[in-house]
Structure 1
Amino acid sequence: MSTTTGRRRPGRPSKAEAGDTKAALLDAALRLFAQKGYAGTSVRAIAREVGLSESVLYAHFDGKRAIYDAAMALAGPQAAVVAADEAPQDPAAFVESFAARVLAAWDTPRSWQVVSLASRDGLIHDEALNAGIEDALAHLSEVFGGWLSEGRIRTDLGGPDDLAYALLAPMAHARVLWLHSDATPAQRERARHRMTSHAAFFARALQNPGDQAPSSP
């Protein structure tokens, strides 16, 4: 009677192990990118950073560009897409929830490294990064468009595209300035304050005059 049922073959990593290896390679690549730049980092150096062979790296990524794209997917503007897709019904609550979710995704060591990499190596104008930003803006525009058509927010501030850009652009600006690898703790705290303050201001500005709470006498 066989006793090997349900066991994986020798040498074949489990899904958990494969996921751990992929995450370790991604983190190693971002460390090296931050130190040596994208162009100055080789696939061999990334593999050696975690004590693996190049063949193991290629089992998880097609190459260096694929690693960069994976970093963008985890810590780039796509985080804003996810937040926009989970919009609550109340516009003001959505704006503040959106800012909190985006800040949580962008305020991590991995995300700081992504910003430093993009700015130092001239990748700030990279096609994938710009496509991610446009995708995030499109998702936000759809949310605002629905609320405008329902009369749930002010209509005198601009169209859906205007509102999407007005919400996201100051947050992205704070990220580039103060949420990167070389930023000081004080600078990162400034980014958090600016992003949350902007969201609170934007949420108030969206409200129709009749929906705003009366001021205290």
Structure 2
Amino acid sequence: MSSITSGRRPGRPSKAEAGDTKAALLDAALRLFAQKGYAGTSIRAIAREVGLSESVLYAHFAGKQAIYDAAMSLAGPQAADVALDEAPDEPAAFVESFAARLLAAWDTPRSRQVMSLVSRDGLIHDETLAAGIENVLGHLAEVFARWQSEQRIRTDLGSPDDLAYALLAPIAHARLLWLHGEATQAQRERARDRIQAHAALFARTLTR
């Protein structure tokens, strides 16, 4: 297809091509970050990993921090917001759906590489990660507060903030232990079993 019929100027990549390049750069960066750490990975190394020049990389990302931020937005705690938005508004079903969707989002090659990155480079207390977690806890607490006011869940287990932390913490702990870049199939299955069992117990306790 010519540039005239496609609506593009000669030499300019399509949106699909640009998107593919950006995704390839992000995946390459995550692989290198997981192997060598954030500080040990250069912009040049990321570009070379996919056979591109540094100038092409800078056309998509302002630098390493921008790549890290993009990785966290796709595979960090922000994934929990998607799980929240798509969960049903029935307490027991909500809890199990939330856990299942979070597991699906975090048990991907990209997400597991992000966990290796934050663990390897001591970024577990990074402000971006912490802010994402606090945001999720806040949204969960809002849901639990509404259900308590509607008398749809027990009120003797703790405050909405307590319930939010009690639901999310074991799931995040399973991710840290068994959903990292070097996780074996057995470890990933252990994470799945633990998360599913926790969600089922939490749902029963919440509504009993």
Please state which band the TM-score falls in when normalised by the shorter chain. over 0.9
Q: Number of matched residues?
A: 206
Aligned to 2:133: 133
* Deviation of 1:190 (Å): 0.5
Aligned to 2:181: 181
Structure 1 distance, partners of 2:30, 2:51, is: 16
* Deviation of 1:4 (Å): 2.3
* Deviation of 1:130 (Å): 0.5
Aligned to 1:112: 112
Structure 2 distance, partners of 1:182, 1:6, is: 43
Aligned to 1:97: 97
Q: 1:134 is aligned with what amino acid?
A: E
* Deviation of 1:187 (Å): 1.2
The alignment partner of 1:154 has SS state of coil
Q: What is the percent sequence identity of the aligned residues?
A: 81
Q: 1:25 is aligned with what amino acid?
A: L
* TM-score of the two chains, using structure 2 as the length reference: 0.96
Unaligned runs of 5+ in 2: none
Structure 1 stretches of 4+ with a deviation exceeding 3 A read none
Aligned to 1:31: 31
* Deviation of 1:6 (Å): 4.4
Structure 2 distance, partners of 1:136, 1:184, is: 28
* TM-score of the two chains, using structure 1 as the length reference: 0.92
* Deviation of 1:7 (Å): 2.5
Aligned to 2:85: 85
Whichever of the two has the greater Rg, that structure is 1
Structure 2 distance, partners of 1:97, 1:54, is: 42
User: Any idea what the Cα deviations from partners look like across 1:46-95, whole Å, max 9, x if unmatched?
Assistant: 01111111111111111001101111111111111111123312110000
* Deviation of 1:186 (Å): 1.1
Structure 1 distance, partners of 2:4, 2:171, is: 54
Q: 1:105 is aligned with what amino acid?
A: A
The alignment partner of 2:39 has SS state of coil
1:201 aligns with 2:190: no
Structure 1 distance, partners of 2:132, 2:53, is: 31
User: Any idea what the Cα deviations from partners look like across 1:99-158, whole Å, max 9, x if unmatched?
Assistant: 010000000111111001101101111000000100111111111111111110000011
Aligned to 1:212: none
User: Aligned-pair RMSD on alpha carbons?
Assistant: 1.2
Q: 1:29 is aligned with what amino acid?
A: A
